[in-house]
A and B are shown apart, each in its own frame.
Chain A
Amino acid sequence: MNFYLSAVILGLAYCGMGLGIYISLRIFNIPDITTDGSYTLGAAISASLLSSGHSIPVVLLVVLVCGGLSGMATGLIHTRMKIDPLLAGILVMTALYSVNLAVMGRSNIPLLNTPTVSGILPFPGTESSRWMGAMLLFTIALCVLIGWILKTDFGLAMRATGNSEQMVRANGVNTNRMKVIGLGLANALTATSGFLVCQYQGFTDINMGIGIVIFGLGAVMMGEAILSFTKLIATGFHLAAVILGCVLFRVIIGAALTLGINPNWLKLVTAVIVLGVVGLPGIKLRMR
């Protein structure tokens, strides 16, 4: 049972990344590979600053700013240099590997006896329930924040940018600026996941972000697949579906591990699950 509880807590910790990928992929129509780097960047900065005695709020602020800047770098490369967003993301992700190593100073930082979000928030009960409370609080706060932004006039312009660029420009929106801001926001959210996961796991590793974008994409698509069975179209339901997708994905991976799958095969299992979610609707259509 503890194993599944841990999977749910970890799933909630990944919600920032899920929301980030939802913004880049679904709102701006950009598959943003920067995620692999910005997620690790969030964890690297957190580990480095926490182990040198900085407080949680200060660390979170630095993580948000640096994650945002990494996404804005991808956005600027894409919009200013007219480089394909996929390639721009790969370039920034590659560059971030060196940046993350420089931030950490070594490839792995254990986080022992450093403050954590579960420690500073006043949740009662066992350690697991304190973590669960902290992750839920973060998830709800992020959802409310993103839900509010997307409902404003600014958010409306953001949503329309990925939907019909020609129409949006004709209505006075600088779509290039929107993309830069949007990718910045997406990667700031992703870095928040790095911030939370490293504290929960108790370490940061330079390779912890490899392939994480696939997990995020799978979680978003899984959430959408569930939502497609309903007639709910409001943005709030989409955000809730992303959260559900993140948690469900972690639980499925947790279940795969309890079935005795070698952890070395975990990335393959992740890829197969994503392939299943993405490919099954197409196969179903062909069978009809």
Chain B
Amino acid sequence: MLELEHIDKHFNRGTPAEVRAIEGLDLTVKDGEFLVLIGFNGSGKTTLLNLISGTQTPDRGRVRIDGMDVTGLRDYQRSLWIARIFQDPLAGTAPDLSILDNFRLASLRTRPKSFRTAVDRRFRQRVKERLSVLHMGLEEKTDSLVGKLSGGQRQALTLLMAVMDRSRILLMDEPTAALDPKSSDLLIHMASSLITELGLTAILVTHDLRYAGTYGTRLVMMEGGKIRRDLDRNEKSSLTPGDLVSWFT
């Protein structure tokens, strides 16, 4: 279970440019819950994900995972529990490494990086099987450099890499923002299937209200650094597309 208690996060504190990104936020995400987070630009959605993943630390409040206080842990330490897909499709993979090497690194997320050379035939086969579900032909290009792939292909790889190891929380920060509609649909559908299949706890930040209405088991809307609306599965299912649009007008 992921818990955020009384979180405050300000930027440029004490200056004329001070921004109150998050204010007194409380949020609990239960195991296996798929939370979709929507809101205006600047409402604090990405900051919230940064605070959960440890890229940023809160000015006040605590972050807990399974009851353990992780507020003081850095992002690379929180990767024991958390995997992340970034808005920039190029940010989640290393372009000068091969597809296989990227997957190898992802498979070691929760383990020490030792002096072993462990890309063997079995691992290669495992990666090929994972890649085949994309139907992009990447299973035949495992030795190709990731930098030669398209943004959509790289974002799909990032998703598969996110579920390679034992991380149980998946954070997705507008993962379709830079993708064409077909790639976006494929990615979100695949993410939803993997979340259900693996029983992951997930948070998806999106501006696409189609996805917000269709996917997830809970819908949260942020505004001005606070949670304005919080709908469970039943309340969410009774929403019409018009309801969602009206929240933004």
Contact = CB atoms under 8 A, between A and B. Distances in A.
Q: Specify whether A and B are partners.
A: yes
Interface of A: 148-149, 151-154, 156-157, 159-160, 163-164, 166-175, 233
A152 B92 contact: no
A229 B77 CA distance: 42
Given A170-B53, A171-B109, A233-B145, A156 B101 contact: yes
B156 interface: no
A153 B118 contact: yes
B114 A167 contact: no
B134 interface: no
Contacts, number: 88
A170 B92 contact: yes
A167 B77 CA distance: 13
B83 A156 contact: no
Nearest to B164: A171
Nearest to B161: A171
B115 interface: yes
B84 interface: yes
Interface of B: 53, 55, 74-77, 79-80, 83-84, 86, 90-97, 101-102, 104-106, 108-111, 113-118, 145, 161
A171 B91 contact: no
A154 B106 CA distance: 13
Given A153-B108, A157-B105, A169 B91 contact: no
Interface of B is mostly: loop
A166 B105 contact: no
Nearest to A153: B113
Contacts of B91: 164, 166-167
B95 A163 contact: yes
B115 A171 contact: no
Which are the 7 A-B pairs with shortest beta-carbon distances? A172-B79, A163-B94, A164-B94, A157-B113, A160-B94, A153-B113, A152-B115
Nearest to B84: A170
A157 B96 CA distance: 12
A152 B117 contact: yes
B71 to A, nearest CB: 17
Given A169-B75, A233-B145, A164 B95 contact: yes
A154 B79 contact: no
Contacts of B106: 171
A172 B161 CA distance: 13
A172 B80 contact: yes
A163 B115 contact: no
A169 B83 CA distance: 10
A156 B113 contact: yes
Contact of A164 (B79, B83, B93): B93
Contacts of B94: 159-160, 163-164, 167-168
B104 A156 contact: yes
A168 to B, nearest CB: 7
A156 B114 contact: no
A204 B113 CA distance: 39
B114 to A, nearest CB: 6
Contacts of B53: 170
B108 A171 contact: yes
Contact of B105 (A148, A151, A168, A233): A168
A167 B113 contact: no
25 contacts: A153-B104, A153-B108, A153-B118, A156-B97, A156-B104, A157-B108, A159-B96, A159-B97, A163-B96, A163-B97, A164-B93, A166-B86, A167-B92, A169-B55, A169-B79, A170-B75, A170-B76, A170-B79, A170-B83, A170-B86, A170-B92, A171-B108, A172-B109, A172-B111, A175-B76
Given A157-B108, A169-B76, 8 more contacts: A156-B97, A156-B104, A156-B113, A166-B86, A167-B92, A170-B92, A171-B76, A173-B76
Contacts of A174: 74, 76
Contacts of A175: 76
A234 to B, nearest CB: 9
B105 A156 contact: yes
Contacts of A152: 114-117
